Amino acid sequence: MKNFQTAQIFGDNMVLQFQKPVSVFGTGTDGTKITVSVTGEEAAQVSTVVKDGRWLAMLPPQPAQDSVELTVSDGAESRTFTNVAVGAVWLAGGQSNMELELRNCSTGKDSLEHDETPNVRFYYTMKKSIADDSFFESEKQMGWNDFSNKESAQYWSAVGYYFAKELSEKLGMIVGVIGCNWGGTSASAWMKREYADGETSVYFEDYDKATAGKSEQELKQAYLEYQAYHSEWERKSAEYYTNTPNPTWDGCLEYCGENRYPGPASPLNPMSPGVLHKSMIERIAPYTMTGVIWYQGESDDHRPAMYYKLLNQMIRNWRDDWNDDNLFFVIGQLPMHKWEADPDFKNWCVIREAQAKTARTTASTALAVLTDCGEFSEIHPKDKKTPGHRFCMAALNGYYQVQFVDPDEGSDETGYSTFNPEPYEVCWNTDSVDVFVSTGLCLEVKDDAEQVSGFELMDPDGEWHPAAAVLSDKELWNAGEGTEIIHAEGVEYPCGVRYLWTNYTEDIPLRDGENGVPLPPFVFMKPGYKG
């Protein structure tokens, strides 16, 4: 039996985080002395001792560089990892829109054929809901790959790839991406039970009620039976949509039978609360990294009012996992979406506001505005290059403090300042509202329209009404540099104002004139309103 093992995420071709203390960790026999060393510009060596079956050593911060070696030894046995880079490490987290593979996005085939070996490396966290013997055996096949391995690259997160490719170009270093995502998952699947409190505890309470009185074996067997059923259902569904002119959801159900997704509560079900934190997050934390690009929220649309609290609890959980209070989060704001057969539930509006509010109120976060990246009646938009770009812009602006490309160098590239969702300031008038938006750049109205669409005002009775809105002259309002004022009127004694409060629209009227980034949707209620 070996005296020590490194965590599976450590391997040849890996990327270590630059300019941060680097955690190297694994398991072993208590009392074993572990020595970790790294070659390169600032070679270093540190030691630690295995305690309670685990060990962790902290290397001093390293400069960005290529082709170093990392060696772990217990004095009798050593393991050396080669072709190691020191660069920027980010985790690509969330559900299916982050999971969607490079080969399946609209630009993926062209990128796989023509991109010239970008400085991007990728590690995919083992995707299995329970860490059993088969999990550990399969995990041994996971490792870091670069873009030259096209067999691997085609399965990378498309958003993660485009984010990292652009970031590497701007930073001039290798970027490592840790893929840690799973389609259809709630944020609750990615956090521990103890971080939920108050209303968000309902996620775990529902699980407890659904599994009460059932043995673990019964729960596992029920999920295995569901998997077999669902696999056949998906086969028949594909058959139906391929062969049926003008298919409908009702027609699909008639042909395929009941859709039982997401299956029964079970420790095998990745949709169950806490499951993926245990089987995925705990396998990679605390691997040192800059932060997280997070694209999720769709599967929490049944409880949109809870999402702000749930997301912040998950962020707190991960920062504790990484022992890094400043672990940076770039939060993707949900794009426009509505199924053709559904009314406008306006639940995605609430989630978008929760995402923007998190960027306003939670330290070390930024917002990637994706409202114009959706497709009608399609929850998986195929353009993932634009979201990757938006995540990169937000990271450059929010974390790296990169704002503009120097125009004197003759570059036609746009700058990287993005909308800061804070502060919005609202001035409540008798028959109108003025919204002050601090953008740092300059808003432009779609098609140079005189009026701005998408605004609504709420009357004292709580009814919302479309509002006539205009983008006001900065000089007229004596606003400071980079501040825009939107004047909306049409309701006597307005008590609320909101913008693009809809699950889906193709009309995105206000954008940044430099970067084309949409102004984030928002809602504000008049202080003291008790309607």
Query: Which DSSP string do the residues of 146-214 spell out, in sequence order?
Result: ETT-HHHHTTSBHHHHHHHHHHHHHHTS-EEEEEEE-TT--GGGGS-GGG--GGGGHHHHHHHHHHTT-
pLDDT of residue 423: 62
261 domain-assigned: no
Residue 457: which pLDDT band, with cuts at 50, 70 and 90?
Answer: very high
**Residue range 419-434: mean pLDDT, rounded:** 84
Of the chain, the end-to-end C-alpha distance in Å amounts to 69
Give the angle 354-356-357 at the CA atoms, nearest 5°: 60
Alpha-carbon span 442 to 415, nearest angstrom: 12
Residue 407 scores a pLDDT above 50:
no
Spatial CB neighbours of 440, under 8 Å, sequence gap ≥ 6:
403, 417, 419, 420, 482
pLDDT of residue 90: 99
531 domain-assigned: no
Residue 37 scores a pLDDT above 50:
yes
Residue 79 scores a pLDDT above 80:
yes
Residue 400 scores a pLDDT above 50:
yes
Residue 405 scores a pLDDT above 60:
no
Looking at the fold, whether 296 and 381 belong to one and the same domain comes out as yes
As a whole-number percent, the residues of the chain with pLDDT over 90 amount to: 83
Residue 340: which pLDDT band, with cuts at 50, 70 and 90?
Answer: confident
Residue 214: how many CB atoms within 10 A of its CB? 15
Looking at the fold, whether 370 and 390 belong to one and the same domain comes out as yes
In this predicted structure, which of 16-25, 404-413, 427-436 has the lowest mean pLDDT? Answer: 404-413
pLDDT of residue 317: 98
pLDDT tens for 343-384 read 999 999 999 999 999 999 999 999 999 999 999 999 999 999
Question: Cα dihedral sign for 401, 357, 335, 448?
Answer: negative
262 domain-assigned: no
* Global pTM value: 0.95
The CATH number that applies at residue 167 is 3.40.50.1110
pLDDT tens for 327-336 read 999 999 999 9
Looking at the fold, whether 481 and 368 belong to one and the same domain comes out as no
Left, alpha or beta for 454 (phi > 0: left; psi -120 to 50: alpha)? left
CB 397 within 8 A of CB 497: no
Looking at the fold, whether 73 and 134 belong to one and the same domain comes out as yes
530 domain-assigned: no
Residue 472 scores a pLDDT above 70:
yes
Residue 495 scores a pLDDT above 50:
yes
**What mean pLDDT value characterizes the chain?**
93
Alpha-carbon span 316 to 363, nearest angstrom: 11
Q: For the chain, what is the domain count? A: 3
465 domain-assigned: yes
CB 348 within 8 A of CB 301: yes
pLDDT of residue 91: 99
Alpha-carbon span 52 to 63, nearest angstrom: 32
Residue 476: which pLDDT band, with cuts at 50, 70 and 90?
Answer: very low
Residue 403: which pLDDT band, with cuts at 50, 70 and 90?
Answer: low
Strand partners, 369: 333
**Residue range 457-482: mean pLDDT, rounded:** 79
496 domain-assigned: yes
Token representation of residue 150: 């096209």
As a whole-number percent, the residues of the chain with pLDDT over 70 amount to: 94
Alpha-carbon span 477 to 460, nearest angstrom: 27
What's at 14, amino acid-wise?
Answer: M
pLDDT of residue 451: 93
Looking at the fold, whether 373 and 433 belong to one and the same domain comes out as no
Token representation of residue 383: 């353009």
In this predicted structure, which of 189-203, 266-280, 300-314, 391-405 has the lowest mean pLDDT? Answer: 391-405
Looking at the fold, whether 137 and 115 belong to one and the same domain comes out as yes
**Residue range 511-519: mean pLDDT, rounded:** 88
Residue 19 scores a pLDDT above 50:
yes
Say whether 486 sits in a helix, a strand or coil. Answer: strand
Looking at the fold, whether 149 and 26 belong to one and the same domain comes out as yes
Token representation of residue 513: 């004139």
Residue 107 scores a pLDDT above 60:
yes
Q: Identify the domain containing residue 453 by its residue range.
A: 424-525
Looking at the fold, whether 67 and 216 belong to one and the same domain comes out as no
Say whether 352 sits in a helix, a strand or coil. Answer: helix
Residue 420 scores a pLDDT above 90:
no
pLDDT of residue 523: 94
263 domain-assigned: no
pLDDT of residue 483: 76
Residue 108 scores a pLDDT above 70:
yes
Residue 406 scores a pLDDT above 90:
no
Looking at the fold, whether 176 and 49 belong to one and the same domain comes out as yes
The alpha carbon of 6 is separated from its chain's Cα centroid by a whole number of angstroms, namely 27
Looking at the fold, whether 210 and 184 belong to one and the same domain comes out as no
- E strands, 285-441, in order: 291-295, 328-333, 365-369, 424-428, 432-438
Looking at the fold, whether 363 and 507 belong to one and the same domain comes out as no
Spatial CB neighbours of 316, under 8 Å, sequence gap ≥ 6:
195
Residue 531 scores a pLDDT above 90:
no
Looking at the fold, whether 173 and 206 belong to one and the same domain comes out as no
413 domain-assigned: no
pLDDT of residue 410: 47
Residue 23: which pLDDT band, with cuts at 50, 70 and 90?
Answer: very high
